[in-house]
């Protein structure tokens, strides 16, 4: 078989159903073989869209997303999407063409040192110089991408290797000397953790994206209910615990709920699971949970004690460890006084916004969207105020229903990610909550959606600004609005020019009907909501401040 | 404080770049680095000396190194009984008449003259970094024209 045939055969055996990509000179042999294969190929309009679509597909389905680009500019265009997947630990395999192996290093046309460029933003990467290594490399790449702490793996394949011939040998098992993720927690540490949990009077569970990755949401719920501990989550953890449950505290951190931040600050025990104590969560680290012992469960040992000193580290898969903890915990100290205190905070500091009669408030749009879908939809977001409102005001009840760029904060993520999610879950409503700034970063993917009948909905919260930056300038730079006033095209005409559907809403009373109509249309829909231009996201913890020192705005 | 860490890695291209890239990306400094093949040519051995007072940074360095797919094992020699050595080659000014004097100095250390030409002696010294440092202070009196050091290598006792 040729290298190209081997690659496609390997992808099939890895269960790949769809590839997002863009052709070019150095991947022609691959595209030629793709023509005969039954793997679905989605031609995006920019390689960044391919990487985000593969990412969104992966987040929605739990499978490994695959993207494909040519050498040089094709590969460099993928890098933002790869870095995005790396920061959020998303399993992805990125395949790039490379110039012929004898031209590597000669500054050949469309050559770039792609393994060099992507080294810091991949879990691992490969340059396949010998066709005999190809099948094994693909097998290793999928294994590495999807196990342990998942992440993107890149395979760079020179075009002559794609054309060479060799016998196809499928390696059933691959053994990588330096790669043995720890899946089960240390029994002694689990016993110790159980003892801490049993005695805690003011425990808080702090859950992250690791719960979703490991599929540990049932165990998490069982644990929270068994020990009667409130649960707060990170942006990446949204959906890991039903927001409608009475033990739920919502998101914590910079734009988290006041009650989650107070609970963390007053807690005597933090049970951190699959979360990495990002600075957006902890605020000033020396004031984070000052009176609490910390149990940290994570599959990545390097995440433990990186930002916050941990009392009981447990390395392993969250599902296994939570299962073992549940077995270990028989009875539990009474937490009813603690839950009462928290209830008091919930009543005193609820999430709120000042509604108005005429002007559309962005929070209102999202509330209405929740009311219409009742959590039975996949929401993707762009980055900025739209993202934070989507995190605060929609109630997520299931994992893999909130897809957002957490670690890297990539504007332009939501729309192509929605495309990928819809392909992975065609029966689900997939809705991108966007800002007028962010949507313009990958708006070209409208064509991909329409051509492939990818029926996603885009809710644009249009305020005429790069909203989050404007908010910071308002609060910390004396309203000197530098470089944030952004103009937009006529989104309705734009959508129509791509044969999608466009709608514009300027009055509050029309919001609900527009959303209802949007959900019924069997096509890609852009709804341009003209919202209050200077609305802010509250609560807000200024960067580097303690998380219980929130700006309330409306309090 | 200097910490000596040894890293067993797969002998593949790009591994050194991965390791050094990890240090530079996180702003850690490498004091010295020595690399060579092991008895098994598919595996290489790196001895890395890092200078940090912060135990937490040292811990992170080890964990981050462990995370690399090509890294097989890591040994931190800080709390392990071990032998450390470094090799130095130096060109030292030395008139013919002072040769005996130089050789007498070198005798105290694991060092010798390996070539003597035109009033310049090339000397070779092997030892622990403190010994090497002491030797270099003594030799400095002769005048050192050029100096090259391998960086530390270490092995467990």
pLDDT tens column, A445-478:
999 999 999 999 999 999 999 999 999 999 999 9
Q: Cα A460 to chain center, whole Å?
A: 19
Question: How many H helices and E strands in chain A?
Answer: 21, 18
Residue A287, both tokens:
């004031």
The reported pLDDT for the residue numbered A552 is 78
* Disruptive mutation site among A139, A302, A303 for chain B (greatest number of B CBs within 10 Å): A302
pLDDT greater than 90 at residue A554:
no
pLDDT greater than 60 at residue A131:
yes
Q: What are the backbone angles phi and psi of residue A315, rounded to the nearest 5°?
A: -90, 130
pLDDT greater than 60 at residue A178:
yes
The reported pLDDT for the residue numbered A305 is 87
Q: What are the backbone angles phi and psi of residue B59, rounded to the nearest 5°?
A: -60, -45
The reported pLDDT for the residue numbered A555 is 38
Beta-carbon separation of B17 and A127 below 8 A: no
The reported pLDDT for the residue numbered A1 is 95
Below-50 pLDDT ranges, chain B: none
Residues of B in contact with A300 (CB under 8 A): 67
Beta-carbon separation of B69 and A144 below 8 A: yes
- Categorize the per-residue pLDDT at A211 as very low, low, confident or very high, splitting at 50, 70 and 90: very high
- Categorize the per-residue pLDDT at A553 as very low, low, confident or very high, splitting at 50, 70 and 90: low
How many angstroms separate the CA of residue A183 from the nearest CA in chain B?
15
Q: Name which of B21, B56, B72 is nearest A177 (Cβ-Cβ).
A: B72
ipTM of the complex in this document: 0.89
Residue A94, both tokens:
């990125």
Mean pLDDT, range A497-505, rounded to an integer: 98
3 state SS of A170: coil
Q: Cα A515 to chain center, whole Å?
A: 24
- Among residues A261, A54, A249, which one has the least CA distance to residue A145? A54
Tens of pLDDT, residue by residue over A375-394, are 999 999 999 999 999 999 99
Mean pLDDT, range A42-54, rounded to an integer: 98
- Categorize the per-residue pLDDT at A332 as very low, low, confident or very high, splitting at 50, 70 and 90: confident
Tens of pLDDT, residue by residue over A258-300, are 999 999 999 999 999 999 999 999 999 999 999 999 999 999 9
The reported pLDDT for the residue numbered A43 is 98
Give the CA distances from residue A470 to residues A351, A366, A437, A486, A534, in Å, rounded to whole numbers and listed in that order: 21, 21, 12, 11, 8
pLDDT greater than 50 at residue A40:
yes
Q: Name which of A176, A177, A302 is nearest B67 (Cβ-Cβ).
A: A302
* CB within 8 Å of chain A, chain B residues 48-77: 56, 59-60, 63-64, 66-73
Tens of pLDDT, residue by residue over A520-539, are 999 999 999 999 999 999 99
Residues of B in contact with A119 (CB under 8 A): 14, 17-18, 21
Residues of A in contact with B21 (CB under 8 A): 119-120
pLDDT, averaged across chain A? 96
């Amino acid at each position: 078989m040729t290298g190209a045939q081997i690659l496609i055969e390997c992808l099939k055996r890895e269960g790949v159903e769809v590839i997002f990509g863009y052709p070019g000179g150095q991947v022609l042999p691959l595209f030629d073989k793709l023509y005969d294969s039954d793997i679905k190929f989605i031609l995006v309009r920019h390689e960044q869209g391919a990487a985000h679509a593969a990412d969104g597909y992966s987040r929605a389905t739990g499978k490994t997303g695959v993207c494909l680009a040519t050498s040089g500019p094709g590969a460099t265009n993928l890098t933002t999407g790869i870095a995005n997947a790396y920061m959020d630990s998303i399993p992805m395999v990125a395949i790039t063409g490379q110039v012929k192996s004898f031209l590597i290093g000669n500054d050949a046309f469309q050559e770039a040192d792609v393994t060099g460029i992507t080294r810091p933003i991949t879990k691992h990467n490969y340059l396949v110089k010998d066709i005999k290594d190809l099948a094994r490399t693909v097998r290793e790449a999928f294994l590495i991408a999807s196990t342990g702490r998942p992440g993107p793996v890149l395979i760079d394949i020179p075009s002559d290797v794609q054309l060479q011939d060799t016998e196809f040998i499928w390696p059933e098992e691959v053994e990588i000397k330096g790669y043995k993720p720890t899946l089960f927690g240390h029994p002694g540490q689990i016993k110790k953790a159980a003892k801490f949990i049993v005695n805690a009077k003011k425990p808080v569970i702090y859950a992250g994206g690791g719960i979703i990755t490991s599929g540990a949401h049932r165990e998490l719920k069982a644990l929270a209910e068994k020990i009667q501990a409130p649960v707060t989550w990170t942006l990446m953890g949204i959906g890991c615990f039903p927001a409608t449950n009475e033990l739920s505290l919502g998101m914590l951190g910079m734009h988290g709920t006041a009650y989650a931040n107070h609970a963390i600050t007053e807690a005597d025990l933090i049970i951190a699971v699959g979360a990495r104590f990002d600075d957006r969560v902890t605020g000033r680290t020396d004031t984070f949970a000052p009176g609490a012992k910390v149990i940290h469960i994570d599959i990545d040992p390097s995440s433990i004690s990186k930002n916050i000193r941990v009392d009981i580290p447990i390395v392993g898969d969250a599902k296994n460890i939570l299962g073992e903890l549940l077995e270990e915990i028989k009875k539990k100290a009474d937490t009813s006084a603690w839950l009462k205190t928290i209830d008091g905070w919930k009543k005193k500091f609820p999430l709120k916004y000042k509604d108005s009669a005429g002007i559309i408030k962005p929070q209102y749009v999202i509330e209405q969207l929740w009311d219409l879908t009742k959590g039975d939809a996949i929401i993707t977001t762009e980055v900025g105020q739209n993202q934070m409102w989507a995190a605060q005001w929609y109630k997520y009840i299931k994992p893999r229903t909130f897809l957002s760029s957490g670690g890297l904060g990539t504007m332009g993520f939501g729309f192509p990610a929605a495309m990928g999610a819809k392909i992975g879950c065609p029966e689900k409503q997939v809705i991108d909550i966007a800002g007028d700034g962010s949507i313009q970063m990958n708006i070209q993917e409208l064509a991909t959606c329409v051509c492939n009948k990818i029926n996603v909905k885009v809710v644009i919260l249009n305020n005429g600004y790069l909203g989050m930056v404007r908010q910071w300038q308002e609060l910390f730079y004396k309203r000197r609005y530098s470089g944030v006033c952004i103009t937009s095209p006529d989104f309705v005409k734009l959508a129509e020019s791509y044969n999608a559907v466009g709608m514009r809403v300027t009055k509050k009373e029309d919001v609900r009907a527009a959303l209802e109509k949007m959900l019924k249309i069997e096509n890609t829909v852009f709804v341009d909501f003209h919202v209050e231009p200077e609305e802010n996201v509250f609560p807000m913890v200024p960067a580097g401040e303690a998380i219980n020192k929130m700006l309330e705005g409306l309090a | 404080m200097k910490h000596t860490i040894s890293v067993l890695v797969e002998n593949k291209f790009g591994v050194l770049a991965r390791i050094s890239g990890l240090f530079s990306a996180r702003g850690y400094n490498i004091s010295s680095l020595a690399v060579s093949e092991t008895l098994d040519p598919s595996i290489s051995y790196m001895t890395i000396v890092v200078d940090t007072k912060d135990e937490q940074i040292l811990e992170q360095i080890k964990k981050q190194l462990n995370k690399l797919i090509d890294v097989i094992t890591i040994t931190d020699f800080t709390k392990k009984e071990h032998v450390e050595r470094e090799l130095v080659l130096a060109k030292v000014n030395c008139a013919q008449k002072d040769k005996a004097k130089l050789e007498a100095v070198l005798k105290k250390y694991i060092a010798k003259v390996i070539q003597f030409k035109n009033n310049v002696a090339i000397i070779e010294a092997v030892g622990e970094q403190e010994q090497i440092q002491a030797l270099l202070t003594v030799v400095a009196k002769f005048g050192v024209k050029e100096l090259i050091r391998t960086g530390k290598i270490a092995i467990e006792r």
